[in-house]
């Protein structure tokens, strides 16, 4: 993932897009492959989720560096909202599972949707303000998803009688 980030910072958008897609495809298949081979473990699932957050942070960090280099501080601020909201979406799902709520997967911007949106933004970044629009969309939709998931947890706990 660091290679994709470096390529983005250096403005090799097409190469960055291909590296990003290759990494994301591999990342999405590793858990499936481990389960199919009977090699999945609880720690493996934890490690995979943790590394997913690291990868997302690295990519959004590279986008932030790029936007800062381009003199767009407002877009860097929006990128931080996107990063925070993306992490809250993932955290709220994990935390709800810890509370025994295993069906908190709703909202518009789960991880697969965020990955696709970022991939499109990376490939189309050379076209005007596409990167800024991508970050704005990611921030808005991830925030909406985080709020929805928090509301879902609250409703689920109320239904179960848990204060």
Q: What angle do CA 81, 124, 142 make, to 5 degrees?
A: 25
What confidence score (pLDDT) does residue 122 get? Answer: 97
* Confidence category of residue 131, pLDDT binned at 50, 70, 90: very high
Closest CA to 104 of 55, 157, 34: 157
pLDDT averaged over every residue in the chain: 91
Mean pLDDT on 124-138: 96
- Single out the catalytic residue among 27, 48, 52, 70: 52
Q: Please check the confidence at residue 18 and state whether its pLDDT lies above 80.
A: yes
Return the CATH superfamily for domain 2-160: CDP-alcohol phosphotransferase transmembrane (TM) domain (1.20.120.1760)
Active site residue 69: no
């Amino acid at each position: 993932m660091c290679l994709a980030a470096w390529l983005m910072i250096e403005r090799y958008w097409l190469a960055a897009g291909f590296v990003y897609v290759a990494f994301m495809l591999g990342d999405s298949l590793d858990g499936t492959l481990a389960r199919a081979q009977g090699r999945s473990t609880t720690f493996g699932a934890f490690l995979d989720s943790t590394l997913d957050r690291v990868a997302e942070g690295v990519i959004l960090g590279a986008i932030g560096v790029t936007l800062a280099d381009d003199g767009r501080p407002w877009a860097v601020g929006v990128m931080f909202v996107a990063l925070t909201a993306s992490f809250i979406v993932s955290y709220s799902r994990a935390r709800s599972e810890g509370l025994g709520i295993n069906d908190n997967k709703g909202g518009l911007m789960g991880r697969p949707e965020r990955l696709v949106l970022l991939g499109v933004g990376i490939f189309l970044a050379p076209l005007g303000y596409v990167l800024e629009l991508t970050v704005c969309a990611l921030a808005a939709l991830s925030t909406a998803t985080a709020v929805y998931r928090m509301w879902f947890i609250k409703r689920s706990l109320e239904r179960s009688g848990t204060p």
